Structure 1
Amino acid sequence: MQLAGGATPQNDNVYTMYHGTSEDGARAIIAEGFKQSTDGMLGPGVYVSRDIKKASRYPLNLPHHKRVVLQLEARVGKVKKIDKQGHPLQKTWHDEGYNTAWVPPNCGMVPSGLEEDCIWNPTRVKVIRQVPTPPEDYGFCIIL
């Protein structure tokens, strides 16, 4: 299911999401499935986004042409909105019964202003296919 940018993901829905990784990372994920990260902005989980532009920025330490974006089917379960740094449940949302933490776009938590999600259980995330990375947005203009 596609959802308009910025729209709140609904509990128990399945969404098309994206994950950015390296070529080696993509091979490992396809062969073995996702592994839960040990930490991150939202704590442990699988970091994904409904915005392909967000996923295509990762991994940050790789040049754009070496990044791979995986299209996913993600079962979000119960979703907790985390919309500010220092949110009381920023890293403990799963302990409160949530399956996914959602950072809305333009809330000040992510420098890019793009949506981010963290899904606690890797079995809720299934790879559909590898997709082309969108062109990099350099954020400049040409003055004539």
Structure 2
Amino acid sequence: MSYQWAEDDFHLPKGSSRLNLNNPKSNETYIMYHGTTKLAAQSIRDNGFRQSEDGMLGPGVYLSRDLAKASRYPIKHPEWDRVVIRVRVNVGNVIIINRQGHPLQKTWNASGYDSAWVPPKCGMVPSGLEENCVWDPKRIEVIGTIKPQPVPRHGAYGLM
């Protein structure tokens, strides 16, 4: 079975910006997405986000302004058991990390940044899609969840 991911509405919360693939601006608030499992999503709704121990950009909460990016996670996990958490994030002071081996790739927070942004198609992410890492989970407000919707199969005589 195949699935599709879609927002359930197009109304942005007050003070938020829609994805535009431009650099996120410091101290702005954005709608972002975090892909996870159904079980983990429930824990996040109940207890909030926790910082990962490590990752491509070091410790933090990994998000994307791109729903297509978030809906791929967790990678190699069955799509029917995935959930995307929709959040509002004040990104604080943002640094752009646009190449592997960037001098602040994993230490950006110690240099006064609140979040790090990997631009799309810069060679750091295999999918070529953007990625964000937010140091402090308190900057993230859960708005809701998006679940994959099964796509009906069409046969020679219509729906199957």
Q: TM-score, normalised by structure 2?
A: 0.81
Partner of 1:14: 29
RMSD (CA atoms): 1.6
Query: Which residue identity is paired with 1:59?
Result: P
Paired amino acid for 2:134: I
Cα deviation for residue 132 of structure 1 reads: 3.2
What is the 5 A alignment of 1:35-74?
35-74=50-89
Q: Is the 8 A contact 2:19 2:66 kept in 1?
A: no
Q: d(CA) in 1 for partners of 2:28 and 2:143?
A: 17
> Percent of aligned pairs with the same residue?
53
Change beyond 3 A, Cα 1:67–1:107: same
Q: Which residue of 104, 107, 123 corresponds with 1:89? A: 104
Q: Contact 1:101/1:118 (CA < 8 Å) preserved in 2?
A: yes
Contact 1:56 1:134 in 2 (8 A): no
In structure 1, C-alpha distance between the alignment counterparts of 2:19 and 2:85, rounded to whole Å: 19
Structure 1 gaps, min length 5: 137-144
Counterpart residue identity of residue 129, structure 1: G
State yes or no: 1:129 paired with 2:141.
no
* Cα distance between partner residues in 2 of 1:102 and 1:95: 16
Paired with 1:134 and 1:5, the residues of 2 have a C-alpha distance of 25
The structure with the larger Rg is 2
1:94 & 1:135 partners in 2: Cα distance? Answer: 40
For 1:140, the equivalent position in structure 2 comes to: none
Q: Which runs of 4+ in 1 moved over 6 A?
A: none
Q: How many Å apart are 1:22 and its aligned residue? A: 0.3
| Distance in 2 separating the partners of 1:78 and 1:21 | 26
Question: Number of paired residues?
Answer: 136
TM-score by length of 1: 0.90
